[in-house]
Amino acid sequence: MSPKLTSPLFPLLILITFTSLYFFSSFLSLSQTPHSQSLAISNNCDLFKGHWVFDPNHSTNPFYDGTCPFHRNAWNCIRNHRQNLTLINSWKWVPHGCNLNRIDPVRFLGLMRNRNIGFVGDSLNENFLVSFLCILRVADEGAKKWKKKGAWKGAYFPKFNVTVAYHRAVLLSNYKWQPKQSEAGIEDGSEGIYRVDVDVPADDWAKIAGFYDVLVFNTGHWWNHDKFPKAKPLVFYKAGEPIVPPLRILDGLKAVLDNMVASIQKDFPRNTLKFWRLQSPRHFYGGDWNQNGSCLFNKPLEENECFLCIDRLIAGQLDLWFEPRSNGVNKEARQMNRVIEEALQGTDIQLLDLTRLSEFRADAHPAIWLGKQDAVAIWGQDCMHWCLPGVPDTWVDILSQLIHDSFHRTDVL
């Protein structure tokens, strides 16, 4: 423990911190007008800030096991015999100043009766969805696979008439491969382009407005030169014409976000509860995914005993891994979050800031236990998606709490 703990000043400092945090958060909630807030706050408690506490009881009663029919093989860490999975799931997320309750699937589906929840984005949102489906199935064993309206994957819970589904749209905007044409102004050496129409939502979710009562968007780990190398670059179009001068990848992300957010604001009903999930961090250690990067950890990262450095003047272990200024392998999540937060300002889309709580969990990825021979040799370790059961179950606890708060408020009004 930190030597600071022995100082007689310490309790006083804690008191001052919490008092100022309290006033600061009350100030925040007072200054929020409906529909202009961005960070989702539950009963004056910020569920996104806190720490992981070791609690062996947390893992004794998982909601689901390796037999859940909604699993995706590579994330099914029980079936793939991921080492130390019980240990991984013995950590409980405890927000500063309140408790995060585990979801009560029966109560939650009761609240959701005749309502639907949709996820739109990349495989990290699918990871989230699988956890959600396996947990909700506890309340309705008759859950059926559901696939309609461009949905990639989902389930229908007949007891409650609730659908929960995922629409895969990795860039959110429409994009398609265009092989090189001789006269096109494409840089030498390229084989063609991926044309991204920044103002056109991908078909997979273009027609879902009105069907879902809750939506969770994300986009993230496709915005890089691994997925779209120089020979196959992204080229951004607007109103059917190439944008000039051509946008670099991060500016392309900005253009896509601005346009997709505008189209969500225009086309989706006001009373649809909208969330945007911030980046899920990766944990490649010692190199990137294609450089033998590894995540064989047996406990969460530590933040450094730096209790009062709310302004983050002092870098902890997390900052060394993730802060763009320290230029680590995993820096892109925070970079992208800044762009996303800016694009969402002034909208009715709430931030689901699951980044920081997930940053701690270097221990919770499938790593080398991918359920397939040669997978590691070909793809490297998976230090990006999450083991299930695992960290996304905590995401579900948080999301369900926020949905509950929100519908409860509306029902009372």
Ligand X SMILES: *[C@@H]1O[C@H](CO)[C@@H](O)[C@H](O)[C@H]1NC(C)=O
**Which residues bind to ligand X, rule: CB under 6 A?**
55, 57, 83-84, 87, 114, 116, 161, 291-292, 296-298
Q: Smallest distance, Å, CB 388 to ligand X?
A: 17
Q: Smallest distance, Å, CB 286 to ligand X?
A: 9
Joined together, the tokens standing for residue 222 give: 């496709």
Q: How far is Cα 15 from Cα 224, in angstroms, rounded to an integer? A: 44
With residue 318 as reference, give the H or E element that holds it.
Answer: helix 317-322
Tell me whether residue 112 or residue 255 sits nearer to ligand X (CB atom): 112
Q: How far is Cα 151 from Cα 157, in angstroms, rounded to an integer? A: 16
Q: Smallest distance, Å, CB 74 to ligand X?
A: 17
Tell me whether residue 148 or residue 338 sits nearer to ligand X (CB atom): 148
Instruction: Spell out the alpha helix ranges (H) of 32-122.
Output: 85-88, 105-112
Tell me whether residue 29 or residue 161 sits nearer to ligand X (CB atom): 161
**CA dist list (Å): 369 to 75, 274, 282, 375:** 9, 34, 16, 9
Tell me whether residue 106 or residue 296 sits nearer to ligand X (CB atom): 296
Checking 369-372 for CB contacts under 8 A at 24+ apart, the result is 369/77, 369/80, 369/81, 369/82, 369/83, 370/74, 370/80, 371/73, 371/74, 371/76, 371/79, 371/80, 372/73, 372/74
Tell me whether residue 226 or residue 342 sits nearer to ligand X (CB atom): 226
Q: How far from chain centre, in Å, is Cα 229?
A: 24
Contacts of 105 (CB under 8 A, 6+ apart): 63, 135, 136, 137, 138, 139
Tell me whether residue 257 or residue 362 sits nearer to ligand X (CB atom): 362
Asked if residue 149 lies in contact with residue 208, where contact means CB atoms within 8 angstroms, the answer is yes
Q: Smallest distance, Å, CB 323 to ligand X?
A: 25
Q: Smallest distance, Å, CB 161 to ligand X?
A: 4
The DSSP secondary structure of 176-227, one letter per residue, reads EEEE--TTS-PPTT--EEEEEEEEEE-HHHHT-TTT-SEEEE---TTSSTTT
Tell me whether residue 165 or residue 235 sits nearer to ligand X (CB atom): 165
Tell me whether residue 55 or residue 203 sits nearer to ligand X (CB atom): 55
Residue appearing with tokens 């989706």: 268
Q: Smallest distance, Å, CB 92 to ligand X?
A: 9
Joined together, the tokens standing for residue 203 give: 């078909």
**CA dist list (Å): 212 to 52, 136, 262:** 32, 17, 18
Q: Smallest distance, Å, CB 1 to ligand X?
A: 19
Let me know if 209 is exposed, middle or buried by CB neighbors in 10 A (0-12, 13-18, 19+).
middle
Q: How far is Cα 323 from Cα 330, in angstroms, rounded to an integer? A: 8
Tell me whether residue 129 or residue 162 sits nearer to ligand X (CB atom): 162
Q: Smallest distance, Å, CB 54 to ligand X?
A: 9
Tell me whether residue 253 or residue 364 sits nearer to ligand X (CB atom): 364
Q: Smallest distance, Å, CB 97 to ligand X?
A: 19
Q: Smallest distance, Å, CB 43 to ligand X?
A: 23
